[in-house]
Amino acid sequence: MKALLFVAIALLPFAVHAQTDTLYAQYPTYAGKDLGLTYQNTKAYIRVWAPTAGALELKVYANGEGGAATQTLAMQKDAGGTWVLALPNSTAGFYTLQATIAGKQMAEVTDPYAHAVGINGRRAAFTDPALIELPGWELSKRPVLKSFNDIILGELHVRDLSTNPNSGISYPGKYLGVAQTGTKGPAGVSTGQAHLLELGITHLHLLPTNDFNSINEQPGQKGPTFNWGYDPLNYTVPEGSFATDATNPVTRLKEFKQMVYSLHRSGLRVVLDVVYNHVADAGSSNFEQLVPGYYFRHWADGRYSDASGCGNEIASDRPMVRKLIVESVAYWARVYMIDGFRFDLMGILDLETMRQVRTTLDAIDPTIYVYGEGWTAGSSPYPEKLRALKANTGQLTGVAAFGDELRDGVKGHFSRHDETGFAGGRPGCEESVKFGIVAATQHPQVVYSKVNASKAPWATSPAQCINYVACHDDMVLWDKIVASTPGFTEAERVKVDILSNTIVFTAQGVPFLPIGDEFLRTKKGISNSYNKPDSINQLDYTYKANNLSVFNYYKKLVAMRKAHPAFKLSTAEAIRTHLEFLPSPAGTIAYTLKNNAGGDTWQNIVVVFNGSRASANVAVPAGTYKVVLRGAELDEAGLGTHTGPTLDVPAATAVILVTK
């Protein structure tokens, strides 16, 4: 019966997809680990899953782009819906796959399991990444990480770090630019990787570096040179435009490794922003041309569903799609020693896929961090209860989500540019900020009914909550503050900026900072710069030179967090035990971290935020305190002393006291 049904599926007209999971469930699956190009005892094999194909051909090319095929080789039907081919020993160059389905010859496409490709990613390369030699790589080790709670994330696009001529970097816009050390910029400030080290982050989160569609990699071609890269073409191949020679498939692999190796040697872990929720174009994709319908979710009328907002969404719940995602993540972690993964629109992916990602990475290295956006950009036919949405984070272990509650509570709603938040004096935001301060965990003093986005806690441990006030999406923090605070002076806006990230870096959970916010970076008010030129997106180190006092404050703030476990408690129970909110006037938040929280050398810490536009008098527990932070001043040795029972806090200011 199963064989007859499968024949019927294979004979379906091209334009008709088997829309039900019942039909797709009849497709044979393949459990082996040798999909794509593999090498076994110097012999090369290619195995492709294409269960509905009546024939599958492999076409060999001399070049990565252009020219006619030099060979056409028929693949043989094999187990689990796969086709296999043992390559002749002399085979070299590049290849495509072309299926015939229901009598129709489909388009030539790249191998979905390609690990090396030619220029612009339309042909896979006969390249064994395992044979790419990089001096010292075999000795490369991940920097030590004792706990996920120690993580400090810095987000960056590869090009942004180095394309400004004032960066002093020799490889602008390239992997090697990120790898370069010791560079200087205006007034002698550190730039590039040296800037990241000076700031003190632990993890560098790179916007998509997998091969994406929007940039023409041919040298000298006209057209855009910048894109964030959320239009994936090949999931498990480094992007070619960041390499010094995209025509050579080895170059991009080797230079990507050089970047990771350099960052590891400097003590920085590397996070990849991965985009498994959709593809650049569903209809022309290798997925659709090899197994029509299977890789994508559809509505009942046959339309692609579009929870990604990019025209399609991946059906991660189907076994062979899940297998591809899990094995792709594992490949990055194993072959390139990637230390973390940020899942774009993770709320599209199903919970079981994320569980398998976590389990697979645990077997490689349990210190690899996994987090993502716990939402979608549109509706999906797949049930919410089965997806990795923020509200379902408690059903996952070792997977974190972004906390937009604190984000919008501190700075105002992300899309309403003229709306400010707690730090800019907007009333009624206190509970949303407190929600983030306790890292989205259950706390008896948070009034969840007054929280902006979530009416209940969703994290079971603080490491599951990413706290932030800005990221690559939407306005950078400084632009948001400018847009939402008409009538404020420059000095007042700087105070709002400093207060905003002081809240982030003293909150429980994992702090996240888009690189450049620490020196008041601007994108000239542009909120969606995904395809804007380098002149908008690049880091201009003049801002660092001109705002060095702000940068130095951020550097001290990061160092204080690193030094004091009270700000990074490891369990929800520890937060409930040691973090107590204090009564305070509207527009302020005050709390204590008491009894040597987390084993901290500071016995009792009082943290006070005044987001209002006027000074506030806040009650603090009786005692004599050392003032370690006041506004833009931070000195653990002390800025003076304070004796309770009240504390006068200026407008848009944070104060931290420590019992003497």
Mean pLDDT of 27-37: 97
| Predicted pLDDT of residue 443 | 98
CB burial of 583-618 (b: ≥16 within 10 Å; e: otherwise) equals: ebeebbbbbbbbeebbebebebbbbbbbbbeeebeb
Sequence-separated (6 or more) residues with CB below 8 Å from residue 469 = 406, 407, 410, 411, 477, 500, 501, 503, 504
What is the SS3 assignment for 548? helix
- Name the band, by pLDDT with cuts 50, 70 and 90, for residue 130: confident
Strands (DSSP E) contained in 181-266 are: 203-206, 210-212, 232-238
C-alpha span between 131 and 37 (Å, rounded): 14
DSSP H or E run through 641: strand 641-643
Nearest Cα neighbor of 58 from 68, 73, 47, 45 is 73
Query: What's the rounded Cα separation, in Å, for the pair 579 and 565?
Result: 13
Torsion angles phi and psi, residue 21, rounded to 5: -65, -25
Assign 557 a pLDDT band (cuts: 50, 70, 90). very high
Q: What is the pLDDT of residue 97?
A: 98
452-503: pLDDT as tens digits: 999 999 999 999 999 999 999 999 999 999 999 999 999 999 999 999 999 9
- Please choose, from the candidates 468, 544, 512, the residue with its C-alpha nearest in 3D space to the C-alpha of residue 194: 544
What's the CA gap between 533 and 531, in Å, rounded?
Answer: 7
pLDDT at site 11: 37
Contact 183, 167 (CB under 8 A): yes
Q: Bigger pLDDT: 21 or 607?
A: 607
Question: What is the distance of C-alpha 89 from the center of its chain?
Answer: 40
Strands 465-467 and 400-403: parallel
pLDDT of residue 65 exceeding 60: yes
Amino acid making up residue 68: A
The neighbouring-strand residues paired with 342 are 273, 371
Q: What is the mean pLDDT of residues 286-292?
A: 98
Calculate what percentage of the chain has a pLDDT beyond 70. 97
Average pLDDT over residues 586-595: 98
Render pLDDT for 536-551 as a digit per residue (tens, 0 to 9): 999 999 999 999 999 9
- 533: preceding bond cis by omega (within 30 degrees): no
Report the C-alpha gap between 468 and 489 in whole angstroms. Answer: 24
Dist. CA 554–CA 152, nearest whole Å: 12
Q: What are phi and psi of 78, to 5 degrees?
A: -145, -165
Tokens of 32: 């082996």
Take residue 636 and report the two structure tokens written for it: 């653990």
Taking a C-beta distance cutoff of 8 angstroms, is the pair 503, 437 a contact?
A: yes
What is the average per-residue pLDDT within 375-395? 97
Residues 133, 253: Cα–Cα separation, whole Å: 10
Residues 648 and 538: their CA atoms lie apart, in Å, by: 40
Structure tokens given for 518: 């620490």
Size of the chain in residues: 660
Tell whether the model's pLDDT for residue 400 goes beyond 80.
Answer: yes
Residue 8 has pLDDT above 70, yes or no: no
SS3 224: coil
Q: What would the DSSP string read from start to end of 122-168?
A: SSEE---GGG---TTGGG--PPP-S-GGG--EEEE-TTTTT-SGGG-
- So which residues are the catalytic ones? 344, 373
For residues 576 and 567, give the distance between their C-alpha atoms in angstroms, rounded to a whole number. 13
In whole angstroms, how large is the CA radius of gyration of the chain?
26
Average pLDDT over all residues of the chain: 95
Read off the pTM.
Answer: 0.96
Separation CA 395–CA 351 (nearest Å): 8
The CA distance from 375 to 391, in Å, is 9
Distance CA 280, CA 271 (A): 22
Domains of the chain and any CATH numbers: 2-131 (2.60.40.10), 399-514+547-660 (2.60.40.1180)
Phi and psi based region of residue 20 (left: phi greater than 0; alpha: psi -120 to 50; beta: remaining): beta
Which amino acid is residue 573, in one-letter code? Answer: E
Lowest mean pLDDT among 5-14, 441-450, 586-595: 5-14
